[in-house]
Amino acid sequence: MLIAGCSSAPEAVPPTPPAPTPTESPTVEQADPLAGFYAQELDWRECGGAECTKVRVPLDYDDPTGDDVELAVTKVPATGEAIGALFVNPGGPGGSAFDYAKAADFIVSPEIRESFDIVGVDPRGVGKSQPVRCLSDAQIDEIFASDGTPDTPDEGRELVEDSRLIAEECERNASELWRHMGTVSVARDMDIVRAVLDEPVLNYLGKSYGTAIGAWYAQLFPSFVGRMVLDGVLPTDLDQTEVSFGQAVGFENSLRNFAADCVASGECPFPGDQQAVLTELRAFLDSLDSAALPTTDGRELTESLGSYAVLSFLYFPDGDYPRLRSALSEAVQQGDGSALLALVDERTNRSSDGRYLDNSTDSFYAVSCTDLPFDGDEGEAMRLADEWQAQAPTFGPALAWGLLACADWPVTGDLEGRDEPVQAGGAPPILVLSTTGDPATPYRWGVDLARSLEDGHLITWDAFNHTAYLEGSACVDDAVDAYLLAGVLPTGELICS
């Protein structure tokens, strides 16, 4: 293990020259159409131990004189003397950075809390930033519960109809904003927020999808990058098929780790060794296709819901594995799917009265399918499902069929040249964190980003966990804090075990 250097006291974040707007300088012939956005004054208010405001950004950067969007911004003041602001984003797409920042005491170390104001900006269309709404609660329930691995032509047709429903309902019900939620626009929004908050650079901690926002910011505005940490990399240069396959294999590897942990716990609902547990678990999920389990709230635990419960509780082993094991025991031994269904509800933020408390499902599709549409059809999804079965038998087929949700997406994103990796030429050093057993953002994605960046630096955590900072490794945490506080980088490639 290589040890990063540290500083006895925080240093001020190095200033950059005064920032013009990121568009071409105004000329006599043509004024900068973004100048008004960069010059806006903010109205701050107190909001429960933090300060909150709204920032206006263009709805469409190709037509910045048209409609605009209001972004919800919160700032949690540093507990000591602030040396700058640290912008944070938890991922998604669809996660609320506003709420994430309000949890500042739990998402960064006490040393970072002392030295940085923590700022959260809900991306356009997400959370409190004019949230797009496409689907009703009942429709979301139906989509989550429907058969995601069709075995008959009728089931195939039903899946295709459900997949088309998302875009159709966005066109019918959502505001025009749903057509302008691509990640490049989100990154451009971040620069306007940085400027109107009078921050000379963007110091940034992005996790999961938040890394895509950060990477695109660094590509578009390299001279305004401060200290940037990208943790759990979602690549910007792969297509939807490549991303989904990588995740299918990643979750399958994590499931094998869960099976081994289940055996070691002595409380596994499935008998035998690791392979036996995997076989029995897959058989249990398959059985839900023809015999869904009852639950206490009147819904049924279908194969899709059962599989999602398992997948969504592979992210954080310390807390997820025991809860997943207990819920599986109740389902297998008592024939009651309530506990597994409760896990799904928790991860999708569904309340006990059937309401989805945020718009994360709608915004997930609006962003993902805009950024990475699927160019195939039902036949291609079927072919991929059969192909992925070999390496990812538990999750591969469902994730392949799931590609159809982004097929024929009516919105064209602005990720031009997305097959080229982000380089961020001219940006200062960027710290990339990648976990060897990360199920959702596989390790290789972080390695590739660190290599493609002009000045990227990789920290590896040898663990089964989604993201690394403040997730249980003092080695990772100390290195990140040293970088954020004093700009100290690991010597060589730091590997934390």
What is the arithmetic mean of pLDDT over 68-92?
A: 98
CA 404 – CA 139 distance, rounded (Å): 17
Higher-pLDDT residue of 258 and 16 is 258
What share of the chain has pLDDT > 70, as a percent?
93
CA 399 – CA 404 distance, rounded (Å): 10
What is the arithmetic mean of pLDDT over 164-173?
A: 95
CA 410 – CA 224 distance, rounded (Å): 33
CA angle, corner 416, sides to 412 and 422, nearest 5? Answer: 135
What is the set of active-site residues? 208, 438, 466
**Structure tokens, 363:** 């915004």
pLDDT in the model for residue 191: 98
Helix 317-334 and helix 338-348, axial crossing angle in degrees, nearest 10: 150
pLDDT in the model for residue 415: 65
Of 241-255, 262-276, 364-378, 406-420, the one with minimum mean pLDDT is: 406-420
pLDDT at 152 over 60: yes
pLDDT at 416 over 90: no
Are 425 and 454 a contacting pair, CB within 8 Å? Answer: yes
What is the arithmetic mean of pLDDT over 221-227?
A: 98
What is the arithmetic mean of pLDDT over 268-293?
A: 97
> How would you class 111 by CB atoms within 10 Å of its CB: exposed for 0-12, middle for 13-18, buried for 19 or more?
middle
Domains in the chain with CATH codes: 47-131+183-237+422-496 (3.40.50.1820), 137-173+240-371+374-406 (no CATH)
pLDDT in the model for residue 17: 35
Judging by DSSP bridges, how do beta strands 117-121 and 85-89 pair with one another?
Answer: parallel
Q: Which residues lie below 8 Å from residue 389, measured CB to CB, with a gap of 6+?
A: 396, 397
pLDDT at 4 over 70: no
What is the arithmetic mean of pLDDT over 238-265?
A: 97
**H/E stretch holding 434:** strand 430-435
pLDDT at 37 over 70: yes
Are 251 and 410 a contacting pair, CB within 8 Å? Answer: no
pLDDT band per the 50, 70, 90 thresholds, residue 184: very high
pLDDT in the model for residue 235: 95
pLDDT at 20 over 50: no
CA 218 – CA 3 distance, rounded (Å): 27
Q: Which amino acid is residue 244, in one-letter code?
A: S
Block residue for tokens 């396959």: 245
What is the arithmetic mean of pLDDT over 192-196?
A: 98
What is the arithmetic mean of pLDDT over 449-458?
A: 98
Are 439 and 464 a contacting pair, CB within 8 Å? Answer: yes
**Structure tokens, 448:** 């590739």
Rounded to 10 degrees, what is the CA torsion of 111, 112, 116, 121? -150
Contacts of 159-166 with C-beta under 8 Å, sequence gap 24+, read 159/401, 159/404, 160/378, 160/404, 163/404, 163/405, 163/407, 164/408, 165/135, 165/139, 166/134, 166/135, 166/365, 166/369, 166/405
pTM assigned to the model: 0.93
* Average pLDDT of the residues of the chain: 92
Cβ neighbour number for residue 334 with a 10 Å cutoff: 11
Q: Which of 457, 436, 63 is nearest to 257 (CA)?
A: 436
pLDDT at 14 over 60: no
- Largest Cα–Cα distance in the chain? 77
**Structure tokens, 325:** 């094991």
Are 403 and 384 a contacting pair, CB within 8 Å? Answer: yes
pLDDT band per the 50, 70, 90 thresholds, residue 21: very low
Q: Which of 244, 489, 217, 485 is nearest to 388 (CA)?
A: 244
Per DSSP, the three-state class of 287 is helix
pLDDT in the model for residue 2: 25
pLDDT in the model for residue 30: 57
pLDDT in the model for residue 418: 65
Q: Which of 116, 230, 183, 217 is nearest to 467 (CA)?
A: 230
CA angle, corner 369, sides to 363 and 370, nearest 5? Answer: 90
Block residue for tokens 């700022």: 119
What is the arithmetic mean of pLDDT over 334-359?
A: 97
What is the arithmetic mean of pLDDT over 373-380?
A: 94
What share of the chain has pLDDT > 90, as a percent?
89
* 252-266 confidence digits (pLDDT tens): 999 999 999 999 999
**Structure tokens, 172:** 């019918």
Are 116 and 84 a contacting pair, CB within 8 Å? Answer: yes
**Structure tokens, 148:** 């995601």
